[in-house]
Structure formats: structure tokens, C-alpha cells
Amino acid sequence: MKVLVLNCGSSSLKYQLIDSESERVLAKGLCERIGIDGRLTHRPAGKEQVVLEKNMPNHTVAVSLVLEHLIAPDCGVIRDLSEIGAIGHRIVHGGEKFAKSTLITSDVIREIEKCSDLAPLHNPANLIGVRACRQLMPQVPMAAVFDTAFHQTMPKRAYLYGIPHEYYEKYGIRRYGFHGTSHSFVSKRAAQMLGKKPEEVNIIVCHLGNGSSICAVKQGKSIDTSMGLTPLEGLPMGTRSGSLDPAIISFLAEKEGLTLEEVMNILNKKSGMAGMSGVSSDFRDLDDAASGGNVLADEALEVFCYDIAKYIGAYMVAMGGADAIAFTAGVGENDTKVRARVCGFLEGIGIHINKVLNSATKGIEMDLATEDSVCRVLVVPTNEELAIARETVALVEA
Ligand code: ADP
């Protein structure tokens, strides 16, 4: 079956058309600046890339432009839209309602709308994509795959915050966690690399990208994760602060004469690695700056790696030990210096890597741990689109 995987943001739309039997990507691309002007970048496998500047007043126009390109004689990869057997949508927040992926019905759309309070920037945008597809291809089955669903197995002790219980009851304020599709995919693959079933192993997945989160996957189930009610909690990220003393918010507002919204904007968009270093949110720039003697860039990287190591220590306790630590996403797969620095903090608890092998490993599967290491250290490339396609096919075929 050919599955169209869509990830809709407020002004963008990423897509991949995947053949589920061969798991090959037939085409992928991106619509940007939807509602502003519009640009499509379409990459068909084995054919020339197409970049088209064209007005996209809304997501329905963007989706129909994507569909046109998928069947176009010159840059298309299928003959007819009827070849698309299903559509998988990435949905950010499923609240407590969705503990797994689901086929999309009118009821499901209403339930996803109810979760919009918890992800006001993401869920409405995701739903715009769902509605656009319904309008253009009403006969094609669609699945919703949630970033939060994998973490619904967390026990209360991991998801309750230390605030009055009524706020959990009234507003659903609790830890939800994100990147679930990636944590699930990577932990399963890590188990395979160890020659075990997911139920037989404990894995700590470090998804380190622009956004970063860590997950304790005990016997195949998420039991704790670093992101919280929103993706702002946990590690310092590209531009997000990660966890901090909540009193900093009112302190900053008062000292700098800022509104709550302005402070939150700083914490989401001007903090993290970019804010600490004053250099960039991009780890390649940070590595270059640190190598060139930039002290703040080096300190930012030190904070990032130290925090990762602390989560690893905490999750070892949470799971009663780990069989493997798995590094994934842009930084986890490629930034050899970050991996080396994190693992430097872990030597005291018996975790050791082959440093030469680590330096040579980028974007491929590898076990970096030395033989005497108490736990494996894996690099496992993530593939969220493929994971969404697999979930979608499983739901449609059931
Ligand atoms: P997103 O959260 O946007 O999906 P990615 O998982 O693509 O992010 O990760 C993006 C990050 O990965 C960027 O900070 C980028 O600098 C980093 N990255 C990509 N390749 C490398 C590399 N070779 N070395 C160091 N960092 C890298």
C-alpha cells in the first residue's frame, strides 16, 4: 500500500509518500509560507527536485498542489491518486484520550479539538491538514498518530506535578511527553539490535534534535520522559530553555518590565543553546564556535551534556538498570562530540564507549560501547515518517 504521511504546521506542511511493502520513500517534500505566499519543494525518488513559488492561501490549496505533483508526468511517482491507500497524520497532542494511534472519524476530530487547549500552536494546525485531506480525498482512510500516545503508560508518580490536585482534574495539567513516535520506533529497533524483544529490555532513548527529550522505556513501555505538559520542559534545546525554577518567570517579568507572554516567548524562542551561547541554536555552529575558543558556546554544550547525563542516571534508577542508551535525531545521530561528552559523565557508573568508533559514526546504526561497559551505547537513526506509515497501515488493514 502507498501511504501519504503528513505533518501540518500553522504555515507549513511536510509530506512523504511511502510504499509500505518495500518501506521506500517514493517522494517527499515541504510546503512553506502557507497563507503568506507559498513555496513547494518536491523531491521525487530518482527524478529531479522541483521548487515552485506559488500562492498557497490555505492548507487545502497546499495539499492539492502536493497531490498534483505526486501524479504529474514529469515529477510524479504514481499514475493516479487512487494508488494512495491511506493517509497518516502526525498529531501533536492526544491528551489522556489517545493512548494509541486511531483511524480518523468525525468523533476523533472532535476529541482532538478538545485537546487543542493543551497544544494551541500545534493541534489546530494538524487538524487543518486532516480537514484538507477529507475534502480532497474523502474516500481514503486516514489515521491520527500522536506524539503523546506512547507516554500514556507512565505511572502517576512520573506524570503528576507538585501542584494542587484540582488543577490536574480541572485542566489536565500533568506530564504528557512528546516525540513518542520516535521513542517507540528507536526503542524497538534498539531491542532488535540487542537481539531481544522490546519486552525483554530497558532502553533510555535520547532524542536530541532541535527539540530534545529523553525517555525511559521499560520492557517496551514509556515509564518516564523529560518533556512535560508542553515541549518546553526538560533539556535545554535549540531555543527552548528546558526546565528551570518557575520563580524565574515572575522575577524576569518584574526586573525587565515584561508581560507573561513576553517572558514565555523568551523561554520558547530565545533561550536554550541559542540563548546561553549567543551563537546559534544549531549544534554544528555551536561545535565550531566551541572549537574556536568561544567560552559561552562551550559552556552551553557542557550544560546540555551534563543535563542529559543526569536524566540517564535518574532513568537508570527509575527502571532498575538499563540494557542500552540509544542516541537518535539530528544531534544524537551526528554530533560525535556531544555523544562523547555525555558518555564522559557516565564513566563513573561503568559505561564506556570506543572513542574512535564514536568519532567515525554519523547517521548509521552502531553499538559504541566497549566490551566491559555495563550497558550498551547505541546510535539508532530515527524515522518518524516510516513509523507513522507503519501505524497507519496496521490500522487500515485491521
Ligand atoms: P528537529 O527537531 O527539527 O527534527 P533534527 O532532529 O533534524 O531536528 O536535528 C537538528 C539538529 O541536528 C541541528 O541542531 C543540527 O545542527 C544538528 N545536526 C545535524 N547534523 C549534524 C552534524 N553533522 N553534527 C552536529 N550536529 C548536527
- Minimum CA distance residue for ligand 1 atom 22: 334
Q: Could you tell me if 213 and 185 are in contact, meaning their C-beta atoms sit under 8 angstroms apart?
A: no
Q: Is the CB of 210 under 6 A from ligand 1?
A: yes
Fold of 194-244+271-384: Nucleotidyltransferase; domain 5 (3.30.420)
Q: Which of 148, 66, 135, 155 is nearest to 102 (CA)?
A: 148
Question: 298: part of which helix (H) or strand (E)?
Answer: helix 295-319
| CA angle 31–33–37, rounded 5-degree value | 110
Distance CA 272, CA 265 (A): 12
Please provide the size of the chain in residues.
Answer: 398
**Cβ(211) – ligand 1 distance below 6 Å:** yes
pTM: 0.95
Q: Judge whether 2-146 and 194-244+271-384 match in fold.
A: yes
For residues 347 and 326, give the distance between their C-alpha atoms in angstroms, rounded to a whole number.
16
Distance, CA 346 to ligand 1 centroid (Å)?
A: 23
For Cα atoms 274, 277, 283, give the angle at the middle one, nearest 5 degrees: 60
pLDDT digit string (tens) for 308-327? 999 999 999 999 999 999 99
- Catalytic amino acids? 147
Beta strands 84-91 and 142-146: pairing type? parallel
29 lines ligand 1 (CB under 6 A): no
Atom from ligand 1 closest to the CA of residue 362: 23
CA–chain centroid gap for 94, Å, is 14
Q: Is the CB of 385 under 6 A from ligand 1?
A: no
Ligand 1 in contact with 384 (CB < 6 A)?
A: no
274 lines ligand 1 (CB under 6 A): no
* Residue-wise pLDDT tens digits, 209-223: 999 999 999 999 999
Mean pLDDT (the chain) is: 97
Residue nearest to atom 21 of ligand 1 (CA): 334
Cα(113) to ligand 1 centroid in Å equals 31
Strand segments (E) across 81-211: 84-91, 102-103, 142-146, 202-208
Q: Is 208 in the pocket of ligand 1 (CB under 6 A)?
A: no
DSSP strand pairing (376-379 vs 324-328): parallel
Residue with cell 525554577: 245
Ligand 1 atom with the smallest distance to the CA of 382 is 6
* Residue having the nearest C-alpha atom to atom 13 of ligand 1: 282
CA distance 77 to 43: 10
Distance 14 CA to ligand 1 centre (A): 17
Give, in order, the Cα–Cα distances in Å from 285 to each of 187, 238, 308, 358. Answer: 29, 11, 20, 20
Residue 366 Cα, ligand 1 centroid: separation in angstroms?
18
Report the candidate in 216, 219, 209 with the shortest Cα–Cα distance to residue 183. 216
Task: Tell me what pLDDT residue 121 has.
Answer: 83
Rounded mean pLDDT, 36-47: 96
Which secondary-structure segment (H or E) carries 41?
Answer: strand 39-44
- Mapped onto helix, strand or coil, the DSSP state of residue 130 is helix
Distance 335 CA to ligand 1 centre (A): 8
Residue 326, helix vs strand vs coil: strand
Statement: residue 10 has pLDDT above 90: no
Quote the pLDDT of residue 325: 98
The whole-angstrom separation of Cα 246 and Cα 226 is 16
Residue closest by Cα to atom 23 of ligand 1: 334
Q: Is 359 in the pocket of ligand 1 (CB under 6 A)?
A: no
Cβ-based neighbour number of residue 99 at 10 Å: 14
Measured from the CB, is residue 284 less than 6 Å from ligand 1? yes
pLDDT band at 41 (very low <50, low <70, confident <90, very high): very high
Confidence of residue 233 (pLDDT cuts 50, 70, 90): very high
Fold of 2-146: Nucleotidyltransferase; domain 5 (3.30.420)
Buried-state track 244-261, b at ≥16 Cβ within 10 A, e below 16: eeeeebeeebeeeeeeee
pLDDT in tens, 350-398: 999 999 999 999 999 999 999 999 999 999 999 999 999 999 999 999 9
Tell how far the Cα of 329 is from the centroid of ligand 1, in angstroms: 7
The ranges assigned to domains in the chain are 2-146, 194-244+271-384
Confidence tier at 193 by pLDDT (50, 70, 90): very high
Q: Is the pLDDT of residue 256 over 90?
A: yes
